[in-house]
Structure 1
Amino acid sequence: MFKLSFISHSAQAMNLPDILEVLEQLAPLSLAEPWDNVGLLVEPSKPRLVQKILLTNDLTVSVMEEAEVMSCDLIISYHPPLFKPFKRLVQKDWKQQLAIRAVEAGIAIYSPHTALDSVKGGINDWLIGGVGSGSVSVLRQAVSSGPLCHKLEFTVRNHEELETVLSELGDRGTGVTFSAARPDSHAYSVRVSCCDSALTSVVQTLWQHSTPQQSLSILPVSKQPLLGCGVGRRGTLDEPISIETAVNRMKAHLGLKHLRLALGAQKTLESTVTTVAVCAGSGGSVLQGVTADLYITGEMSHHEVLDAVAAGTSVILTDHSNSERGFLSVLRERLSVHLDDSVSVQLSQKDRDPLEVM
C-alpha cells in the first residue's frame, strides 16, 4: 500500500533522519493506536551516522548489553521500552536504566509497535498467512489521519442572502467549499463543507442570519478508509484444514515446539477450520465476538478463552511475543532493501519470550 521512495545515502553510513523516513514509509506512525508510544523514543544529543541497527521484539537488559558490545547506533524495538511517563531518571527502575545507558552510549531507540501491526503486509497479515492462503479482511478498519470534516446544510431566502452569507464565510478565512441549489422559487438549499477547526467560525457566521440558523443541520463526514490497514485480521481459507493441521502450520511458521490449544465446544483435532481470526500480542479484546472457527493470538485471559470455547471457536495461544517476533526477519529484509549496503541490520540473539514451556 505504501510506496517507498529512494533516498541518496552516504557511501559509509546513513543519517538517522533518513532511516526514520524509511521506517515511516514501511509503517506510518499515524496507524498506531492512540494509547501507544511509537516512533523515536531516544535521540542522541549529537548527530551520528548509523552503521549498525539491532532489531528486537523487547529491549531488555541482556539485549542492551548485546547492543553495547556490537557498538550499535540504533535499536528498533517492536515493543516501546519507554511507555509510562518518567518524573526522574534513576537507577532503581530497570527501564530507566535502559534509557540512561542508551543516552550515555549515544544509541537511538525507535519503536513501531501497533503501526507495524496495522499496516498492510505487517505483523497481522504475516501471522494469518501462517495458516494458509485465502481472502483476508481487517477486523477494525484504519482511516485517514487527516482532519475531521463536517457537512452543514441550511437554506437562505433569496440570492441576495446567499451572496451575503458566502461572502461573510469567505471573509472569516474558513476555507469552506459550498454548493447551492434552488428547488423552488422561494429559497436556496446550501451545502457547506469545512474542517473541524473551522466549524465554530462557520456556525457563528450562520447564526447571525435567521433563516440559516433555523434550518441548520451539521453532519460529520467519515474519514477515508485505508484499505488493508487496521487492527486484527479475519481470513477465509482457500482450502479448509483440520485444527490439527492449523496447529502444526503455526508451529512451523513461528518456529515453536509447543502451542497452547483450547478446542471449541463439540470440536476435535479433526474438526474443520475454514475461517480464522488473528491478533498479534494480546488479542482478547480485539477478537471478542468475532465469528471464526479458530482464533490465533499471543495471549487471552482465562475467561476470554472460556467465552470463545463456549461459542464453538477453538483458540491457539502462542505466548505474547511469540506471535510477533518471527516478523522481525521480514522487517530486516525490507529494511535491507531500502538502506545503504554499508548499514548492517542484525536480529538480536538475546531477545526471547520470558515464558518457557518446561
Structure 2
Amino acid sequence: MFARGETIIQLMERLAPKHYAVPDDKIGLQVGSVAKEIKRVLVTLDVTPAVVDEAATLGAELIIAHHAVIYRPLAHLRTDTPAGALAASLLRKDIAVYISHTNLDTAEGGINDWMAEALELTGRGILEEIHTDKLFKLVVFVPETHHEIVRTAMFSAGAGWIGNYSHCSFNSEGTGTFLPQEGSDPFVGKQGKLTQVKEVRLETIVPLSSRKKVIAAMLKAHPYEEVAYDLYALDLKGRSFGLGRVGTLPEAESLDQFAERVKAAFDVPFVRMVGDGSRQVRKVAVLGGAGAKYIRHATFAGADVLVTGDIDFHSAQDALAAGLTIIDPGHHAEKIMKPKAAEWLAEQLKAKGYATEVFASKVDTEPFQLR
C-alpha cells in the first residue's frame, strides 16, 4: 500500500507545521497535485533541472524541497524563461513540489537542530523566537472504568506538558447524570431513564500545536456516544520555537580547529572565517541559510562564534567590532536536510505500513566553485 500525497504532506507538517514559518514565506505545495498515491519521494535542498531529471529517473512523483521554486511573484509563465521551463518540465513529468522552508528551520528536530547536533553542541537554546505555542486547558468527564485509557491516549497525543514535566493532570471523582433520548445509543443506561454514573473530571494542559490530535485521541478512546468536554484558552506562555540554535562545545577549541569541525560536519571543502584563528571558542550560535542579520542576536546570546552563510563584507566588520567571530560554510550547508528529512519521513511512512520509498537527492546544487 502506497501513501497518498496528502498523507505525506500531513506527516511533513507534523515535523514542521506551517504556522512555524516566518510571515510571507513561500511554503507548501507549489507545483502539481498530491491528490494521488505516491510510490517514491525525492528530498532535496533546491529544485533544479538536474534534480527534476533525477526525480524522473527514480520514478518519484513528489519532490520535497527546502528552497522554493516560486519565491517572487510571477508576472507570466513563459517556457522560454528558466522558471517557466522548470515548471513546464515538472508538469510534463507529473512531479509535484512541496516546500518546507523556515518552518523546517524553526521546528524542533529540524534543520537548525540537525546542524547543532552535527557540531556536537549541548545545552541548546533558540537564537530568535518566532513562535510561542498557545496553551489550553482541556477538561473531560470520563467514566471511572475508562479514566486511565482516555488519559493515556491524551498524553500519548501530546497533552500534559508543563515545562520539563510530562503527564501532568488533575483528576477528581464525582457523579455524572444524563437521560438518553430517542435515537441515542448509550454506553451505559437506557433510553428514557435518568442515569447516574461514577465519573472522573480529568483536566490537563494542551498546546495549540497538538490540540486537534489530542481531542481526536480523546474522542477515540472515550466510550461515550456524546463526550462532555470543555476547552479553555489560557493566558500562559507555552513552548517557544525559533530560528537558529545556541549551544556549547564539549571543550573549548581554537577558531582554526573549530573551522575544521564545521567543514567536516557539513561536508564543505572550505569555509570563510572572520576573527583570530588562535582565539578560543566554546559557545556557538548556528543558523542555516543566510544569517548576517543575526549577528546582534548571537552577540546578545554571548556566543563566541556564529556559524551561518552568506556573510557580507560590512556584516563581517560589524561582527569583528562586536567581538564576535564567524565561520561561514555557505548557504549550501543546509544540504544536511536531505538525508535527515528523508530518513525521518521514511521512518514515519514505514511505521504506518506504507510502501512509499523516500530518497535523498544526490545532485549537488551548490552554485559556487573554488578556484
Whether TM exceeds 0.5 here: the answer is: yes
Deviation at 1:226, TM superposition (A): 3.1
Which residue of structure 1 aligns with residue 52 of structure 2? Answer: 64
- The answer on whether the counterparts of 1:143 and 1:223 sit within 8 Å (CA) in structure 2 is no
Residue in 2 aligned with 1:308?
A: 319
Distance 2:347 2:312 in 1: 39
Distance 1:327 1:249 in 2: 18
**Is residue 333 of structure 1 aligned with residue 322 of structure 2?**
no
1: CA distance, partners of 2:8 / 2:259: 37
In the aligned structure 1, how far is the partner of 2:238 from the partner of 2:313? 34
Which residue number corresponds to residue 20 of structure 2? Answer: 31
Report if aligned partners of 2:295, 2:319 keep a CA contact under 8 Å in 1. Answer: no
* 103 and 49 in structure 1: CA distance in 2 versus 1, 3 angstrom threshold: same
Structure 1 letter corresponding to 2:287: C
CA gap of 1:99–1:36, structure 2 versus 1, over 3 A, is: same
Given residue 370 of structure 2, which amino acid in structure 1 is its aligned partner?
Answer: V
* Cα distance in structure 2, aligned partners of 1:258 and 1:222: 48
Are 2:311 and 1:294 equivalent residues in the alignment? no
Determine if contact 1:30/1:145 at 8 Å carries over to the other structure: no
| Correspondence 1:125 to 2:113 | yes
Say if 2:93 is the partner of 1:80. no
1:139 to 110, 115, 127: 127
- The RMSD of aligned alpha carbons is 2.1
Cα distance, 1:310 vs structure 2: 2.0
Q: C-alpha distance in 1, partners of 2:235/2:30?
A: 32
Paired position in structure 1 for 2:165: none
Secondary structure of the 2:127 match is strand
Listed one character per residue, the Cα deviations across residues 31-50 of structure 1 (whole Å, up to 9, x for unaligned) are: 01112111111233x84210
CA distance in 1, matches of 2:67, 2:291: 15
- Secondary structure of 2:67's partner? coil
CA offsets 1:100-121 (integer angstroms, 9 cap, x no match): 2222222110010111100112
Q: Structure 1 302/222 Cα, relative in aligned 2: closer, same or farther at 3 Å?
A: farther
Point out the structure with max Rg over C-alpha. 1
Unmatched segments (≥5 aa) in structure 1 = 1-10, 148-220
**Alignment partners' CA distance in 1, 2:35 and 2:116:** 40
CA distance in 1, matches of 2:132, 2:90: 34
CA drift at 1:24: 0.5
* SS of corresponding position for 2:55: helix
> Against the structure 1 CA distance between its residues 289 and 138, is the aligned structure 2 distance closer, same or farther, given a 3 Å change threshold?
closer
Q: Is the 8 A contact 1:57 1:351 kept in 2?
A: no
**TM-score between both structures, scaled by the size of structure 1:** 0.70
- Compare 91-100 and 15-24 and name the one that shifted more: 91-100
Q: Which amino acid aligns with 1:327?
A: M
Distance 1:319 1:346, change over 3 A: same
Partner SS for 2:11: helix
Partner of 1:177: none
Does the 8 Å CA contact 1:143/1:224 hold for their aligned counterparts?
no
Q: Structure 2 unaligned segments of length 5 or more: list them.
A: 136-233
Q: How far apart in 2 are the matches of 1:238 and 1:350?
A: 33
Question: In 1, are the aligned partners of 2:273 and 2:327 still within 8 Å (CA)?
Answer: yes
